[in-house]
Amino acid sequence: MEPVFYVMAILGCSDGQMQCREVRTEPTRYQSAAQCQAAMVQVLPRHTDLMYPTVAAACQQRGQQMAKADTRARG
């Protein structure tokens, strides 16, 4: 059984962050959402090469719990 962890998705956003899409995922795994959020300050500056007016980040949960939810969604 795979443990739950968090990854940081890098988002490219339009002006005002009204429309964002995931363009990259950081390879680092975090044990908690708080650790992931705390790392954003250091991670975001590495993604200034993206051609979007705004670059943002979001922490996403991955692991066993996500797989269970996906299985239930398929019925």
Instruction: Give the C-alpha separation, 55 to 47, whole Å.
Output: 8
pLDDT in tens, 45-69: 999 999 999 999 999 999 865 445 5
Positive or negative, the CA dihedral 59, 63, 65, 69 is positive
Give the model's pLDDT for residue 67.
46
Contacts of 36 (CB under 8 A, 6+ apart): 6, 7, 8, 30, 59
Give the phi and the psi of residue 57 in degrees, each rounded to 5: -140, 155
**For the chain, what percent of residues have pLDDT higher than 70?**
80
How many other C-beta atoms are found inside a 10 Å radius of the C-beta of residue 59? 19
pLDDT in tens, 16-39: 767 999 999 999 999 999 999 999
